[in-house]
Amino acid sequence: MNDILSRLFFAGFIRLHILHHAAEEAICGVDIVAELGRHGYRLSPGTIYPALHELEKAGYLTVRTSVVAGKVRKYYAATSKGRKALKQARKKLHELADEVLQPPKSRKRAKPNR
C-alpha cells in the first residue's frame, strides 16, 4: 500500500474500522487483519497492533485474553467511551462522504463561517 496515502488517510480509516467492528462484537487481531483484508487493506501485525494499543490507551477499547484452540488470543471490544467516539466519527464521516462522494455538478460549497 502507498506509504503516504496510508499515513495521511488510511491510518484513520483503519482505526475507525477497527472501532466499528469492536463495537459489534469482541474481535481479535487475526480477525481484524482478515476483515480489513476483505476491504483491500493488506496489513501487517506491525500496523494493526500499534493501532489497537492506541485505541486501548485512548480508552476506546478494552482487551480480554482468551485461549482458543490452545492459542492465547487477545479480544478487543469497544468501551462506552469508544462507542461515543464512534458516534461522533460516524457523523463526521457522513458529512465528509456526502460532500466528497457527490458527483462534481451537485457539489455545494459550505459557506465560510465568518
- CB of 97 or CB of 102, closer to Zn ion: 97
Contact of 51 with 18, CB cutoff 8 Å = yes
Strand partners, 66: 73
- In the bound state with Zn ion, the residue whose beta carbon lies nearer, of 35 and 54, is 35
State the nearest-atom distance from the C-beta of 107 to Zn ion, in Å: 28
Binding-residue pattern over the window 16 to 55 for Zn ion, x denoting contact by CB under 5 A: -------------------x--------------------
| 77's grid cell | 471490544
Q: Taking the complex as a whole, how short is the minimal distance between the CB of residue 75 and Zn ion, in angstroms?
A: 17
Binding residues for Zn ion, rule CB under 5 A, total: 1
Which residue(s) pair with 77 in the sheet? 62
Sheet of 71-78, strands arranged across: 27-28, 71-78, 61-68
Cell triple for residue 57?
490507551
Task: Provide the binding-site residues for Zn ion, judged by CB under 5 A.
Answer: 35
